[in-house]
């Protein structure tokens, strides 16, 4: 029964991946790798930054979704902005389907007023979807009793199992020391993802739209100049084809320890997950862990989702520089 369950699960995953319109990877730590959320974030913190991220979705299944991400961004004074690079590998259904992405972004920075800045970013990428044909399970080669498989006639239809394409995205960001707001549009060209060469099948990658906003607010408990900690409410809205998602949460940070909780649901107010976060922030690095507790129909059968990230700065940030979308460690939390 375990073999049959595994085969059926792989079949379900590959059905969504190859026949349905694809949906992008959704990270729970949005601002650990902000380039993936919005290319306008390139170079925003003022120093070179490297971000590493790993996501293991649905522990109860055998390597259902494993996603690896590595990114780097930095300011470039001569370009009046910043540049960034992002690399992603998303392995689905125990490696039966692998998606590889390599993206490069540029963002220009303009000061709008004494307190507000504007970033406008563009991104170009080269993507490849790689399908392991030997792992495909079809109805004509699956024995429902023993779980044994043979050779399916459907395999011959897959003429381009390593399909590659170029992809373009853009975004804008407006921010101050306490507030930020951004818009992004990914897959502007809606590239074709069909594994069948010359196919007229509608296998385009739907354009994804994102709106995000947040703030970093000080909490004073012992007088106006005695800040005890920061709180950061945040909201992210995303739409891609038939999929819509709302993410909202609240973080608190004090003495290098960050904790928070997120909620993820769709537009119809159907909850998908509650996300718990804990992290450690130092001057030049951050380590963060999140656990997604599934509350949808899949519930406890999924085993939940873990995500861990490590961000480190190649130079120390300037003193006094604060950003609402980046946790900056401060030696003295008593002062404002």
Please give the Cα distance from 275 to 294 (Å, whole number). 9
- The tens digit of pLDDT for each residue in 42-90 reads 999 999 999 999 999 988 887 789 999 999 999 999 999 999 999 999 9
In this prediction, residue 5 carries a pLDDT of 43
Question: Distance of CA 276 to CAs 37, 103, 112, Å?
Answer: 20, 29, 36
Q: What is the pTM of this model?
A: 0.85
Residue ranges of alpha helices (H) inside the chain are: 2-18, 34-37
DSSP, collapsed to helix, strand or coil, labels residue 299 as helix
CA distances from 111 to 120, 176, 271, 320 (A): 12, 10, 39, 18
Check residue 289 and give its pLDDT. Answer: 98
Beta carbons within 10 angstroms of residue 47's beta carbon:
16
**Is residue 309 scored above 90 in pLDDT?**
yes
Asked if 86 and 62 touch (Cβ cutoff 8 Å), the reply is no
Q: Are 86 and 101 in contact (CB under 8 A)?
A: yes
Q: Give the per-residue pLDDT at 153.
A: 56
Which run of H or of E encompasses 75?
strand 65-76
Per-residue confidence at 37, pLDDT binned at 50, 70, 90? Answer: very high
Separation CA 142–CA 158 (nearest Å): 18
Alpha helices for 174-214 (secondary structure H): none
pLDDT at 210: 98
Give all domains of the chain, ordered by start, each with its CATH number.
21-87+100-120+163-191+205-313 (2.40.160)
Nearest of 73, 35, 49, 46 to residue 285 by alpha carbon: 49
Q: 157-190: b or e for each residue (b if 16 or more CB lie within 10 Å)?
A: ebeeeebeeebbbbbbbbbbebbbbbbbbbbeee
Tens-place pLDDT, residues 220-261: 776 666 667 789 999 999 999 989 999 999 988 888 899 999
């Amino acid at each position: 029964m375990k073999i049959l369950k595994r085969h059926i699960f792989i079949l379900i995953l590959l059905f969504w991946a190859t026949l349905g319109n694809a949906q992008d990877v959704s990270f729970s730590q949005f601002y650990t790798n902000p380039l993936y959320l919005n290319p306008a974030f390139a170079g925003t913190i003022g120093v070179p930054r490297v971000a590493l991220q790993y996501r293991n979705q649905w522990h109860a299944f055998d390597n259902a979704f494993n996603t690896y991400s590595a990114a780097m961004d930095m300011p470039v004074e001569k370009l009046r902005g910043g540049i960034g690079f992002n690399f992603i590998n998303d392995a689905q259904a125990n490696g039966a389907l692998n998606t590889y992405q390599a993206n490069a972004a540029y963002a220009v920075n303009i000061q709008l007023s004494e307190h507000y800045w504007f970033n406008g970013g563009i991104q170009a990428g080269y993507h490849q979807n790689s399908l392991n044909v030997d792992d495909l399970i079809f109805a004509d080669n699956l024995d429902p009793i023993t779980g044994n498989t043979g050779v399916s006639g459907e395999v011959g239809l897959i003429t381009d199992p390593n399909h590659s394409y170029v992809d373009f995205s853009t975004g804008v960001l407006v921010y101050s020391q306490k507030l930020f707001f951004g818009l992004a549009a990914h897959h502007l060209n809606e590239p074709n993802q069909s594994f069948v060469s010359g196919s007229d099948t509608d296998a385009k990658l739907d354009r994804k739209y994102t709106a995000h906003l947040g703030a970093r607010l000080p909490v004073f408990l012992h007088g106006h100049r005695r800040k005890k900690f920061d709180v950061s409410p945040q909201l992210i809205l995303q739409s891609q084809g038939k999929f819509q998602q709302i993410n909202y949460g609240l973080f608190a940070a004090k003495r290098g320890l960050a904790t928070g909780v997120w909620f993820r649901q769709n537009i119809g107010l159907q909850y998908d997950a509650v996300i718990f976060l804990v992290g450690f922030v130092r001057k030049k690095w951050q380590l963060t862990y999140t656990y997604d507790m599934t509350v949808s129909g899949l519930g406890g059968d999924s085993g939940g989702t873990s995500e861990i990230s490590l961000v480190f700065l190649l130079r120390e940030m300037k003193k006094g520089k604060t950003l609402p979308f980046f946790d900056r460690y401060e030696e003295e939390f008593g002062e404002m």
